[in-house]
Structure 1
């Protein structure tokens, strides 16, 4: 099986060099690394002349779309498997590609597989637990029958590190385009409702986390809720609030067990910011345009729509 890695970039930082270096050291050889860079800016020019496996395409800011740009990468690729990664996700070992190949070879019915995200060294305790909550140690294959038990988590998938059979992705119409956010979960949700399966591969690990402020959490959850409101065919009848409450309760218990109960105030604040963003995002159609632009983290999306 040939594997191409597709990475959308925008002003990549120091982690990007680490990502490329770790990809080139993978035990299962990568066919090609496809980089779709929004604006040249501070893009590392050395990568453009790097002969090993790397192909760079530059696009303008107004051309970027969370779904459309990833579809572009799949159309450039000719590989059997396309692995999407973000510019700040670092493979935890040299077996990342191999783990994905193994799941596809051993499960012909699987078209989508996503990996486990581990916290960075500087990750705060709340986000560290969130990583563990969303990305457990045990792998799992999810299908429509899991909706009664897992709820919205059945559709969960993350293009921070997610692999797709390329023909499967394209034949199903690719990612939603345009989309404000959440292209991975929209696609996975549609495929699960159609009777397909999604694999969570805990052995395929990347290091990736963010210490978001409450304000950043608000904006992200606003966009997340907008994406769900725009796709009732996927998310209607599968509420997210219950899963969020479960995570808050589990995190609070973890903070108490860890001897840091005062951090619960920070958890309450951040959870409140998330909920307010989500609450407003679900009702974005009733909001004036100026307020939507204040709430979103993707103002360019609204200018195009």
Structure 2
């Protein structure tokens, strides 16, 4: 078997049916299989997957799920040369998605993993569409295959470049089994994909960007949801990578000002309604504020950390103390 597509699921709703149907309709010159790992869905997901020819369903208990752990399980249950991962709400845009993803890996045997582009669902807000476009365009402006050897001096001195190198999204990705066998995913509750990418870059492997392997994947969050997600991300990045995002109040204030100016200009150019614009400005404040508070999470009482978190399991798994390595503020 050339490729195994592994999709972890937990109550994804109807969108998963479109995802699974699109994956099964991929136009590929080689055989591939689909493995769904469900952790206790009660919305008919298991029955739908079970009824599809060519799909294997593996069920686990909800408490056994882990972002890295479950993906390792998926890889271990397959024997293909490559293992592709999708989340249950990431819908391939076309029937060439898998071919493009694998093609990015096959450019060079030193490439350990490849990730594809995300675009917003058609009903997403104009700001969400713009954010995803800007985010992934920066990868199109760099070489499609990068490693430590791309710019060794910059890797040693530029933290922003190192962050760029270890960005990796297993919402839409594919890895080389031979590399995974020596470098499996870490068993963590957050950023398992970026930690894995950091480790394989450090080990000397390369990473590929597949701009033609496109999925619809986006979320429009409420204001408090955005604060919570930013708090979780900032606290986790503090622990995992030593980054302190918008830790200083002055820096946070300047960041909010920059985002507000950018989004007001975007709203004016695109004639976005005052209500939608006001919501976006509120989301800017929530995002930066969540990062600032998350950067100082060790100073907060445990009960408050949990109340500010969207992912309680993640917060319980993170150590309270500051990482041993030197942290830089942004």
Do structure 1's residue 191 and structure 2's residue 200 form an aligned pair?
yes
Note the alpha carbon deviations across 1:146-193, whole angstroms, 9 max, x for none: 654646333221111011112212311x2221x222111121123223
Structure 2 partner of 1:161: 172
Query: Quick check: 2:36–2:49 contact (8 Å CA) kept in 1?
Result: no
Other-structure match for 2:108: 107
Residue range with higher mean Cα deviation, 183-192 or 111-120: 183-192
- The answer as to 2:145 corresponding to 1:141 is yes
Distance 1:159 1:272 in 2: 28
List alignment gaps of at least 5 residues for structure 1: none
Taking the aligned partners of 1:41 and 1:239, their CA distance within structure 2 comes to 39
Q: For residues 162 and 98 of structure 1, what CA distance do their matches in structure 2 show?
A: 12
Query: Which residue matches 1:259?
Result: 271
Matched with 2:62 is 61
- Output one character per residue of 1:226-276: Cα deviation in whole Å (capped at 9) or x when no partner: 321222xxx33x66559x959936555433332348455433321221122
Match of 1:209 in 2: 218
Q: Specify the SS of the correspondent of 1:6.
A: strand
C-alpha RMSD over aligned residues: 2.7
- Equivalent residue for 2:288? 275
CA gap 1:43/1:282 in 2 versus in 1, 3 angstroms = farther
Match of 2:74 in 1: 73
User: Shift in Å at residue 215 of structure 1?
Assistant: 1.4
How many pairs does the alignment contain?
297
1:175 aligns with 2:185: yes
Task: Give SS of 1:181's match.
Answer: coil
Are 2:300 and 1:287 aligned?
yes
Structure 1 residue 85 displacement after superposition: 0.5
TM-score normalised per structure 2: 0.81
CA distance in 2, matches of 1:299, 1:109: 38
What is aligned with 2:229?
220
Greater CA radius of gyration, 1 or 2? Answer: 2
Query: Is the counterpart of residue 200 in structure 1 residue 209 in structure 2?
Result: yes
CA distance in 2, matches of 1:175, 1:250: 37
Partners of 1:72 and 1:217 in 2: CA distance: 31
1:289 CA drift (Å): 1.6
